[in-house]
Structure 1
Amino acid sequence: MTEVAGSKRAQITRAALLEAAREVFSAAGYDAANMVDIADRAGASIGSLYHHFAAKSDLYITLYNEYQRRQQHRSAQAFRTALDRGEKDALQLFIIGTRAYLEGCWEERELATMFLSGGGPAGFGLLTRQRFREWLHANSTLTNGHTRPLSEMLVLCLTAMATEAGREVASAPSRAKARRMVDEVLELMRRLYPSS
């Protein structure tokens, strides 16, 4: 087997293991999830699983990191598109990025619910608090230098609102309900910093 073919096969196996882990963690919860069940669901050997991931916690945190990257990408892309269209108001830019984040919570509701509801491996709560601080810093940085810059405390409140709203949007019973929730939380954000 060539090195390229082996690398491609390893990528496919890794992706299958992550998909299987997502299914098992979502169904059983982190504590009850079993590495053998994950390997079986992926159609892989337990040795292959441990070749790619050192432990169950490694799988969970990898899923979390990849989910966070997709969420950051959604928000950043919406933010950049708004900038390209001439939007300069810091609050409006924040709201546009938040809408993309909340829509991502609905689109990936299984993962969002799992990660936002607590649980996970030891130290996961610390990791999520660290990510929240990173998100807070990024939001503060992105909204400075635009019309009506946002204070640090306002960014904190808005970011906390977005996080909590994400939890609720992810558990909404329907897409229509999720959309109403997104619209309502974004309107509440606007009221915190009215334009006039």
Structure 2
Amino acid sequence: MAREPDTAAETPLDLPAAPHRPLSKRALATRNALLDAARQVFAARGFEGATISEIVARSGTSVGSLYNQFGGKEHLFLELHRRHSELLWEATQQAMERARATGERDPFRLYLAGARAYLLACWDERDLARLFLSGEGPPGFDAIARGALRRWINQNADVLQVTGRRFGEALAAAVTGVVAAGARQVVACPARDDAAEMTEYFAMLVTRLAQPADQPGTHYLKRDFNL
């Protein structure tokens, strides 16, 4: 399952805040053009290799517009990260809601539904997924990533209903790590069919991780952690 977006917690304090006033149609079009161009440039060159001049040239706007809208390439990067995180979050939530609508109530199967959706959404958005999974970004982005990972583990513990149980956090951290590793493999797949096959492979790994060797067909979520 994807981590819930938390832009307040993920924005370094030394970066200028994006404007929160209502935008005119023209300003919104400019903002979207800059984001589209930044996505292309960051995906091709990484954060360090991307230049404001290339982003502006691709967007057909101006340097002044970029600074007026975002304050620099740092905030452009973070806004793309926020939108990407939000898209992955929505994909996992929708998948879990669809599973609940069919009558599914088992927390592990609900988690798997969300994890599958997360991995396939990573492939669909693989240009940005590769960028953010690389860890490259503006100063402070590594701290953002660490905080996001901690929230992701906590949210997965809640979904799996293991919060407060012995080794519950350890299990949540382990399955989160497997899914995160899966994302790196999925975004490297050449076609969506390959990504779907890779997704099922990692779903199998998560299932094995949560399934006691002496009790096939069950998983640790069905047991107390009195080991």
TM-score by length of 2: 0.79
**Which AA in structure 1 matches 2:78?**
I
2:180: which partner in 1? 163
Aligned match for 2:198, one of 162, 181, 185:
181
- Aligned residues: CA RMSD: 1.7
2:36 and 2:155 map into 1 onto residues whose CA distance is 29
Map 1:1-196; keep pairs closer than 5 Å: 7-144=24-161, 151-194=168-211, 195-196=217-218
Residues 116 and 203 of structure 2 are in contact (CA less than 8 Å); yes or no, is this contact kept in structure 1? yes
Segments ≥4 residues shifted beyond 6 Å: none
- 1:167 deviation in Å? 1.2
Distance 2:176 2:100 in 1: 20
Any idea what SS the aligned residue of 1:29 has? helix
Displacement of 1:6 after TM fit?
6.2
Does the 8 A contact of 2:178 with 2:205 survive in 1?
A: no
Question: How far is 1:26 from its partner?
Answer: 1.0
C-alpha deviations, 1:64-95, integer Å up to 9, x for none?
11100000010011112212221111111111
TM-score (norm 1): 0.90
Please tell me the residue identity of whatever aligns with 1:109: R
Contact 1:17/1:39 (8 A) holds in 2: yes
d(CA) in 2 for partners of 1:126, 1:29: 18
Distance 1:6 1:140, change over 3 A: closer
| CA offsets 1:2-39 (integer angstroms, 9 cap, x no match) | xxx96121111111100100001111111111111111
| 1:17–1:49 Cα contact (<8 Å) kept | yes
The 1:6–1:122 alpha-carbon spacing in structure 2 relative to 1, beyond 3 Å, is: closer
Report the residue type matching 1:182 in the other structure: T
* Number of aligned residue pairs: 188
CA 1:48/1:85 → structure 2, altered by over 3 Å: closer, same or farther? same
Equivalent-residue separation in structure 2 for 1:193 and 1:27 (angstroms): 38
Q: Secondary structure at the match of 1:122?
A: coil
Structure 2: runs of 5 or more not aligned: 1-21, 212-216, 219-227
In terms of fraction of residues, the more helix-rich structure is 1
| Cα shift at 1:151 | 2.3
Amino acid at match of 1:8: K
Aligned-pair distance for 1:143?
2.4
